Amino acid sequence: MGRLARTEGLTDIQREILHTVRGFVDKEILPVAGELEHRDEYPAEIVEGLKELGLFGLMIPEEYGGLGESLLTYALCVEEIARGWMSVSGIINTHFIVAHMLRHHGTEEQRAHFLPRMATGEVRGAFSMSEPALGSDVAAITSKGVRDGDDFLLTGQKMWLTNGGSSTLVAVLCRTDEGQPADAPPHRSMTTFLVEKEPGFGEVRPGLTIPGKIEKMGYKGVDTTEMIMDGLRIPAARVLGGTTGRGFYQMMDGVEVGRVNVAARGCGVALRAFELGIAYAQQRHTFGKPIAEHQAVQFRLAEMATKVEAAHALMVGAARTKDSGRRNDLEAGMAKYLAAEYCKEVVEGSFRIHGGYGFSKEYEIERLYREAPMLLIGEGTAEIQKMIIGRRLLEEYRERN
């Protein structure tokens, strides 16, 4: 393990977990990632390995069969996994957003019903907020949940579900207007529903259809889908927390975890790009010497390494803030913004070091070059992060003046 992206103050257990995950990445993910990615094939054997390691239960409390670890431990594991293949980290990300929301906002019955099976990976979660026409404007959702006796009927179209096909539990945000005045702010009329379904595509339960995978430039292997609800009947007992109108806050809490995850992915991909770049720079010769001995290449490596370190530090800080119980939207926004932007720049730097070979599918950097752009838009674009950061800074400094 190199000098970059180290984390001070870890416990022996955390170091042991990370050592195990890194070994799994080196042995089970890196050797097959390129082939699976080019075939856009779901990494079923890798997922089974993650189950055996207990990673699906990493942040789930021990009383529900999980390991009870912190967000920091999880983020560092994600960094390691993304270093191997970012798509694999996506498979566990939405799972943990849903597990986090259940742990902190679910009823005791909901926690007892879902969390033990989520800890083993028997139940795998997906997270559904976005819709085809709204992008980052969550308040504009049109999917609706209408009360029908002891049930709700859900109707609408959702977009960009990671694990949409492979998941068996989806946390879905819909508009529910019951009990709200006509002029109530949109966020007070939103509810999170826990939707159980069969894995696969097509009609996965009455009233619920998961079309085929969306074809993407990168981030392949993991299934990204739409979700169509047409009179989907959900018991009122599957309203997250048991009360309507709280969905927006529940989802935003989950998104904070998701943004730390995306920051960790950016750190992992950037670290791998740096590893590939510095190795290739010592192997490739021009003008009678390795290109690593050319000052211009050394400057590029120095810039890349500094960005890897800076992004890692912000990511760790955001995770530790959330673990402390404090609001971390400022820290998570900064970490996600910087890690995504720096990841793009480090990958491009490594791509340039590889020269023409970087354009070949035979070289790993080609895959990273197609994966990095997803981080610029996942869990909110750079512009959204800047808006969140700016608003929080104004809140903080107004309070102090």
- Residue 109: both structure tokens together: 């019955």
Q: Are strands 169-175 and 125-128 parallel, antiparallel or unpaired?
A: parallel
Sign of CA dihedral 359, 364, 367, 368: negative
| Cβ count near 217 (within 10 Å) | 10
Please say whether the beta carbons of 368 and 220 come within 8 A.
no
- Among the listed residues 45, 379, 383, 399, the single catalytic one is 379
The beta strand positions in 176-241, using DSSP E, are: 190-196, 202-205, 208-210, 224-235
Q: How many CB atoms lie within 10 A of CB 94?
A: 25
CB 167 within 8 A of CB 199: yes
Strands 285-286 and 289-290: antiparallel
3-state secondary structure of 125: strand
Strand-strand pairing, 151-162 and 289-290: unpaired
Annotated active-site residue 364? The verdict is no
By annotation, the residues acting in catalysis are 379
